[in-house]
């Protein structure tokens, strides 16, 4: 079983990722937590956890880890300093730690618009942070998948999506479906070293991700 470190495990998407991994035969989730009081949640779920703070030292969290899903974010309500500290510097620090630990694949939850932050004035700082983290991952030498979804909703996932390197449209996608896309991207041959935009659509997740891997 491959050990998958989930960064952002306590967030809305991260929790969904852990639930999917728990029911998998191939992967064992390891939740990275920042505070001791968060461990009870994962103990109750019978999920392994490690301590790690994106604004502190993280190398120790990577012991024995095979692959990584980065689903952390500072959230829309925090100031610019926090966005840069978590979404940019924290992500880059984690990528460096993953490289040192010889992680076999790094799956990054990014955001649509991160390829050209200047087009989105309101989200510019957030998208610039995501852009810098994405570029750092691309240049790291670690096999990667960068997933850039549209606006995230808490709607029930329909497992129907639209994927492309560039969709040239905006829209929404459920966190459920994003979590499934992140987990499916862990498979070695799928979407390797690819950047993919995702919206809700008409194609099954499995078909769409296989096609996007070509």
Residues noted as catalytic: 126
Nearest to 181 by CA among 194, 166, 168: 194
């Amino acid at each position: 079983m491959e050990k998958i470190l989930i960064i952002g495990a306590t967030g809305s998407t991260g929790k969904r990722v852990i639930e999917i991994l728990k029911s998998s035969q191939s992967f064992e989730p390891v939740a990275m937590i920042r505070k001791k009081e968060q461990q009870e949640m994962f103990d109750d779920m019978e999920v392994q956890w490690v301590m790690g703070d994106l604004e502190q030292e993280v190398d120790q969290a990577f012991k024995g880890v095979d692959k990584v899903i980065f689903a952390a974010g500072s959230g829309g309500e925090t100031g610019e300093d926090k966005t840069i500290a978590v979404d940019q510097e924290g992500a880059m620090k984690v990528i460096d730690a993953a490289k040192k630990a010889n992680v076999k694949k790094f799956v990054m939850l990014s955001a649509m618009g991160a390829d050209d932050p200047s087009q989105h004035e309101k989200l510019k700082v957030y998208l610039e942070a995501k852009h810098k983290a994405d570029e750092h991952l691309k240049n790291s030498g670690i096999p990667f998948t960068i997933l850039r979804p549209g606006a995230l909703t808490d709607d029930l996932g329909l497992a129907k999506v639209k994927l492309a390197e560039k969709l040239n449209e905006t829209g929404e996608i459920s966190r459920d479906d994003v979590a499934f896309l992140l987990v499916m991207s862990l498979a070695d041959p799928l979407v390797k070293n690819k950047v993919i935009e995702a919206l809700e659509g008409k194609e099954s997740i499995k078909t769409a991700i296989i096609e996007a891997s070509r």
